[in-house]
């Protein structure tokens, strides 16, 4: 659920200088080279990506939207190359914290150059264009880091500059060669554009006071028409496109840049395949130990492990909420419970006051999928974090809603609150937002972020939060996470087909058909993001176990958990160097 989450943050130069100790120098003294470089990069980054400044809580760019014209992309690429070349000199004599900031910037430069210079996503991937269009106004509409009238005025201004971006995207793909565009990317981007067009046609104005709605709707209609035109173009492109979403020989580099790991994908795949076998054995053992309790059956469990696993997974799915009100109330109750548990068990220090809001998304988000965590940005750390719950599709028939509530069953919801909220993403993102080194929240390490959330699931279960159904839901999720890594690597390096993905995910990882279909699409559109759950959990859990062993009786859980927040969302390897003696 995390918005892969869906997790880029940042700021403009002025705020960076004003609010971070990194740049706080004695009067009349220039910032050190590392700090100056960091400030320059962040300033240019938000000039390039204004919607990400809004997401960060930095509102100097709210009247702007991305300009992906070829000259501007070329200038941005050259700036990244020049900055990359200057990093070694800037790092000389720099403090540890400044060098760590520069390593974070280097990782982001690698991502920028891969996307724009190697993969050439601007010309080949329509999802590159629909991303800022999709996020253009959502943070202005839902978050409370601006006064409501100022936020609505900014959203109205942002809508007025959306049509040129949509038209520019349409013009790029009207002339794109069929072999350069993957049909899967075009179809998904077209669906996103259609959904956005409907939102700006029907829903956007409903967020405004009644007296303003007529004028707002007239203005938003221009965006809606431009998005509809883009959708029509992309639908036509999808019919003739012959490009491949599978990365093939480029996957190794995409994997390295996306995860920060130098381990070859083939080695990771072998690890994941071994982990899947071990996890199946663990699931079967747990399933047998609670079989009667979970299924209500009085006889002995089936002999075969696969059948035992399927039956207990089916049983936990039937322990579900009957309707949206009960489901929402359950989430809120779980959140109260998990906060109390973390405080009473001294799991970690929570920042007070708790600035967390949980609800379903506002009704005016017509046709939009906006479920997920909307965290406070590092330049608005006191803002609320908002969790919009995933919900059944509006108007979904009863059987479709029942499938949703089986997937988001009570055991799953009890378990996942530790991942998404406390002490997982909400807590980690809140610490990151308050961290003085804001560039680290701006370019958060994805493996650390998802590894932390997944580790928190298991930790709280082991400490006693949850029940047998919650533990089985967690184990099912771990099977899914391992399968994600196997699928991502196999699809892109060995030609695994959609049918093979669906068969593998449902048969070997015991997941449902809908999740299997989603996994296929996610690996084609977001590789290697879906590997970060397995990889991150492996890193954080291993570090936890190694620190416990090294500290022995002196190990204090809260000290470890708080310590994992001290440097911000940087690679787990940096925490390993900090928390363990050399060579451990």
Please give the DSSP secondary-structure letter assigned to residue 387.
Answer: E
Is 17's pLDDT higher than 50? no
Band the pLDDT of 339: cuts 50, 70, 90. Answer: very high
Longest Cα–Cα distance of the chain, Å, equals 81
pLDDT tens digits, one per residue of 124-162: 999 999 999 999 999 999 999 999 999 999 999 999 999
Residue 488 has pLDDT above 70, yes or no: yes
CB atoms within 10 A of CB 157: 16
pLDDT, position 31 = 60
Banded pLDDT at 71 (limits 50, 70, 90): very high
What's the confidence (pLDDT) of residue 363? 86
Bridge-based pairing of strands 372-374 and 385-388 is: antiparallel
pLDDT of 24 reads 36
**What pLDDT shows up at residue 13?**
26
Spell out the residues 6+ positions from residue 44 whose beta carbon is closer than 8 angstroms to its own.
76, 79
- Which letter does DSSP use for residue 199 in this model? I
For residue 2, is pLDDT > 70? no
Summarize pLDDT for 29-56 with one digit per residue, the tens: 556 699 999 999 999 999 999 999 999 9
Q: What is the pLDDT of residues 295-326, one digit of tens each?
A: 999 999 999 999 999 999 999 999 999 999 99
Mean per-residue pLDDT, 561-569: 98
- Rounded to whole angstroms, how far apart are CA atoms 352 and 319? 34
Which of 502, 464, 327, 507 shows the shortest CA–CA distance to 402? 327
Query: Model confidence over 175-197: pLDDT tens digits?
Result: 999 999 999 999 999 999 999 99
Q: Rounded to whole angstroms, how far apart are CA atoms 356 and 338?
A: 13
Instruction: Tell whether the torsion through CA atoms of 294, 296, 299 and 304 is positive or negative.
Output: negative
Residue 354 has pLDDT above 60, yes or no: yes
Give the Cα separation of 322 and 6 in Å (integer): 30
pLDDT of residue 12: 29
Residue the block writes with tokens 């089916």: 314
| pTM score of the predicted model | 0.92
User: pLDDT band at residue 5, thresholds of 50, 70 and 90?
Assistant: very low
Q: Phi first, then psi: what are they for 359, rounded to 5°?
A: -165, 175
pLDDT for 21 beyond 80 = no
Taking residues 375-381, what's their average pLDDT? 95
């Amino acid at each position: 659920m995390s918005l892969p989450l869906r997790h880029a943050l940042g700021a403009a130069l002025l705020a960076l200088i004003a609010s971070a100790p990194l740049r706080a120098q004695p009067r009349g003294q220039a910032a050190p080279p590392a700090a100056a470089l960091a400030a320059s990069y962040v300033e240019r980054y938000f000039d390039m990506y204004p919607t990400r400044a809004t997401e960060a809580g930095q509102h100097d760019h709210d009247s702007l939207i991305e300009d992906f014209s070829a000259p501007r992309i070329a200038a941005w690429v050259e700036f990244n190359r020049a900055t990359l070349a200057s990093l070694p000199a800037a790092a000389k004599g720099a403090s540890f914290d400044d060098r760590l900031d520069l390593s974070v910037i280097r990782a982001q430069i690698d991502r920028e150059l891969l996307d724009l210079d190697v993969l050439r996503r601007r010309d080949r991937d329509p999802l590159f264009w629909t991303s800022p269009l999709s996020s253009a106004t959502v943070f202005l509409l839902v978050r409370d880091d601006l006064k409501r009238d100022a936020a609505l005025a900014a959203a109205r201004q942002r809508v007025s500059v959306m049509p040129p971006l949509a038209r520019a995207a349409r013009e790029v793909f009207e002339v794109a060669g069929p072999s350069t565009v993957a049909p899967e990317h075009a179809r998904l981007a077209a669906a996103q554009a259609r959904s956005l067009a409907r939102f700006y046609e029907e829903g956007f104005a409903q967020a405004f006071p009644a007296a303003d709605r007529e004028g707002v709707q007239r203005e938003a209609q221009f965006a809606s028409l431009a998005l509809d035109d883009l959708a029509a173009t992309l639908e036509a492109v999808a019919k003739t496109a012959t490009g491949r979403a599978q990365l093939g020989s480029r996957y190794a580099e995409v994997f390295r840049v996306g995860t920060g790991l130098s381990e070859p994908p083939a080695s990771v795949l072998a690890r994941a395949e071994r982990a899947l076998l071990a996890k199946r054995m663990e699931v079967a053992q747990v399933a047998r130990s609670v079989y009667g309790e979970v299924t209500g059956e009085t006889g002995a469990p089936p002999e075969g492990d696969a059948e035992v696993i399927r039956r207990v997974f089916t049983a936990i799915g039937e322990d579900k909420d009957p309707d949206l009100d009960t489901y929402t109330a359950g989430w809120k109750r779980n959140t109260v419970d998990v906060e109390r548990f973390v405080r009473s068990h001294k799991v970690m220090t929570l920042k007070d006051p708790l600035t967390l809001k949980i609800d379903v998304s506002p009704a005016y988000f017509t046709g939009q999928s906006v479920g997920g965590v909307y965290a406070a940005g590092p330049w608005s750390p006191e803002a609320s974090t908002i969790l919009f719950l995933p919900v059944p599709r509006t108007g979904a028939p009863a059987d479709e809603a029942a499938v949703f509530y089986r997937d988001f069953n009570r055991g799953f919801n009890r378990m996942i609150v530790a991942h998404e909220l406390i002490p997982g993403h909400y807590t980690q993102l809140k610490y990151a937002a308050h961290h003085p080194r804001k560039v680290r929240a701006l370019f958060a390490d994805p493996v650390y972020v998802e590894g932390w959330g997944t580790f928190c699931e298991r930790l709280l279960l082991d400490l006693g939060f949850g029940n047998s159904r919650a533990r089985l839901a967690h184990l099912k999720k771990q099977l899914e996470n391992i399968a994600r890594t196997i699928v991502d690597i196999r699809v892109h390096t060995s030609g695994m087909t959609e049918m093979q993905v669906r068969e593998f995910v449902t048969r070997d990882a015991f997941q449902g058909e809908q999740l299997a279909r989603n996994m296929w699409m996610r690996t084609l559109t977001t590789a290697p993001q879906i590997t970060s759950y397995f990889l991150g959990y492996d890193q954080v859990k291993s570090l936890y176990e190694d620190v416990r062993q090294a500290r022995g009786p002196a190990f204090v859980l809260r000290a470890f958990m708080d310590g994992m927040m001290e440097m911000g969302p940087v690679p787990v390897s940096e925490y390993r160097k900090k928390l363990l003696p050399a060579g451990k």
